[in-house]
Structure 1
Amino acid sequence: MEPTGTKMALLSNVLAAYSFVTENPERAALYFVSGICAGLLLTLLVLVLRISCQTDCKPLQTKKPSRDSDTDGSDSDDDSDTASDLSARRHRRFERTLNMNVFTSAEELERAQRLEERERIIREIWMNGQPDIPGTRSLNRYY
């Protein structure tokens, strides 16, 4: 196709899109927002997959036993070692996430602790302020 025909086709498509948007603004807005949401969901999916597979998808760097000491060549032992290494790595990663501090500063940590203490006090006040209804007493009232 010649360059003039390409420019005319592009101009025609732009005018068609403009006329569609002016005739159907709600539908165009819906398509736009749907496209944004689909892009965000796809990005979130890719990030989750990347983070979860970051350690699992790396090639295993285990030392192979020398063939001199292992003459029977049992491959099932290698498979079980690989599986146990993988589960051990997953377990260590899980423990790291449990022990990791999610607060980036001491100020945020202190603020979260104060908020937690306030919520505990409010729960305690609420529980102590409940009326005594026979048959519904709970041990929570005394704590």
Structure 2
Amino acid sequence: MNPIINSTFSANMALISNALAAYTYISDHPERAALFFVCGVCLGLFLTLFALVVQISCRTDCQPRQRPPAKKRARPADSSSDSSDSDSDWDTTSDLSARRHRRFERTLNMNVFTSAEELERAQRLEERERIIREIWMNGQPDIPGTRSLNRYY
């Protein structure tokens, strides 16, 4: 018999045998199989969420930086290499913090509302939540034996 056909046949038989063994195990232990399935789905969702968070947070920070053309400054001849290293470290950290600050300002200046109606609706909702919080804070009963500061606010 041909060895290629024989190895293919044995691989197919092993696959069928493993599938029947899995079916038998699942039919004998349905609760355990369901638990493994749910754990697998939860683990997959967690890993997907983690990958998404890493991608979003590293999108701007992990891109190669494009340095602006360096301005040539006249340095004194007696400056040591230690001072130039500390200057470059300071420039790198200040550049990173400046980029983060600019990104934060961009998110603050973004207009998330597409219309004036949505903005007004959001402001009304915020005002309602503030009123409800205030009513809740003022309406708490004073429990004897405890000193509640809610009545003073």
Aligning the two structures, in what range does the TM-score lie when normalised by the shorter sequence? Answer: 0.7 to 0.9
Q: Does 1:44 align with 2:49?
A: yes
Percentage of identical aligned residues = 65
Q: 1:53 Cα deviation (Å)?
A: 1.1
- 1:96 aligns to what? 106
Q: How many residue pairs are counted as aligned between the two chains?
A: 139
TM-score, with length taken from structure 1? 0.73
Encode CA deviations 1:87-117: one digit per residue, 9 max, x unaligned: 1111222233344455576665554433333
Partner amino acid, structure 1, of 2:131:
I
**Range that drifts further, 1-10 or 119-128:** 119-128
Matches within 5 A, 1:121-132: 121-126=131-136
Q: 1:49 Cα deviation (Å)?
A: 0.9
Per the alignment, do residues 101 and 31 of structure 1 end up closer, same or farther by CA in structure 2, a change over 3 Å counting? farther
**What is the SS of the residue equivalent to 2:87?**
helix
Partner amino acid, structure 2, of 1:91:
H
Kindly indicate whether structure 1 or structure 2 has the higher relative contact order, using CA contacts under 8 Å at least 6 residues apart: 1
Counterpart-to-counterpart distance in 1, 2:97 and 2:114: 29
Counterpart-to-counterpart distance in 2, 1:105 and 1:11: 61
**Rg comparison, structure with higher value:** 2
Q: 1:119 Cα deviation (Å)?
A: 2.7
- 2:89 aligns to what? 79
Encode CA deviations 1:28-68: one digit per residue, 9 max, x unaligned: 11100101111111111111111111111111211353678
For 1:5, which of 6, 10, 15 is the aligned residue? 10
TM-score, with length taken from structure 2? 0.69
For 1:62, which of 63, 67, 80 is the aligned residue? 67
- 1:33 aligns to what? 38
Structure 2 unaligned runs (5+)?
1-5
Structure 1 unaligned runs (5+)?
none
Counterpart-to-counterpart distance in 1, 2:115 and 2:28: 52
